Amino acid sequence: MRPIDLLQALTVVLIWGFNFVAIKTAVTEIPPLALTVVRFLFVGILITPLFRPERAQLRPLLLLSLTMGVGHFGLLFLGLRGADAATAALLIQLGVPFSSMLAALFFADRLGWVRAAGMGMAFIGAGLLAGEPGGGTPIAIVALLIAALCWAGSNILIKRMPQLHPLTIIGWLSLLAVPPLALLSLLFETDQLTAIRGAEWKAWAALAYIVLASSIVAYYLWYRLLARLQVNQVVPFTLLAPVIGVAAGVLIL
């Protein structure tokens, strides 16, 4: 891994670490699915006019919008509604061993005994954390675990995807995810528009961070790394995100 790749990976995990705090701040005022809709709508509006895929590339982008947009982000925001930021930051990192297992299955990436042992410890730790009474509700814990699995699956889809500019992927998966997420919000949430209109500046500042820093800058760097390197070279860096997330949660929340 080149020094520039290392710098990009560290930048990504730093942004994502603080993103847990931003999401937790925003979902206290805006319902989680509605917040996800607004997030992706803003990202899509900012990017899609500048980066357009070919028609044949829309199918993999649609699939990615379901796994990443609906599955990962929708369930992550829903899980954060019922779990504290520290618990969410730790559970969501099960996406790392999930990604390693899927990469070994689809790309024949070597796991090795060190990675296998680390994965086993990660699952044991997640099991202990899930049993803690104060960490979050059972529904929130399950939502976060499925969100981690969806993130892992999305990494595999991106690796197998035809060559696309990272911002094309970000913009169009965001825009394509808006309709199904909006439908889920209408089915399972109430008073979304009232909550959005009445949100205080802290929620809007958190949303701006989520859109600009986490969704656009961090994922642009992340998709570039996935395109150049093996999945198992990249995803372990995200294990630093919960450390940053826990520290940020203690200091800020």
What local confidence, expressed as pLDDT, does residue 141 receive?
Answer: 85
Q: Residue 246: is its pLDDT beyond 70?
A: yes
What local confidence, expressed as pLDDT, does residue 113 receive?
Answer: 59
Position 6: which residue type? L
Residue 46 to residues 19, 26, 62, 219, Cα–Cα distance (Å): 19, 20, 19, 14
Question: How long, in residues, is the chain?
Answer: 253
Collapse the DSSP code of 212 into the 3-class scheme (helix H, G, I; strand E, B; otherwise coil) and give the result. helix
Domain chopping of the chain, boundaries: 3-252
Q: Name, of 34-48, 137-151, 220-234, the range with top average pLDDT.
A: 34-48
Query: What digits encode the pLDDT tens for the residues 131-174?
Result: 555 567 888 888 998 999 999 999 888 888 767 899 999 999 99
What local confidence, expressed as pLDDT, does residue 91 receive?
Answer: 82
| Averaged pLDDT of the chain | 85
Burial (0-12, 13-18, 19+ Cβ within 10 Å), 224: middle
Q: Whole-prediction pTM value? A: 0.82
Share of the chain above pLDDT 70, in %: 88
Residue 170 to residues 12, 14, 106, 232, Cα–Cα distance (Å): 15, 19, 23, 22
* Band (110; pLDDT cuts 50, 70, 90): low
CA distance 2 to 68: 28
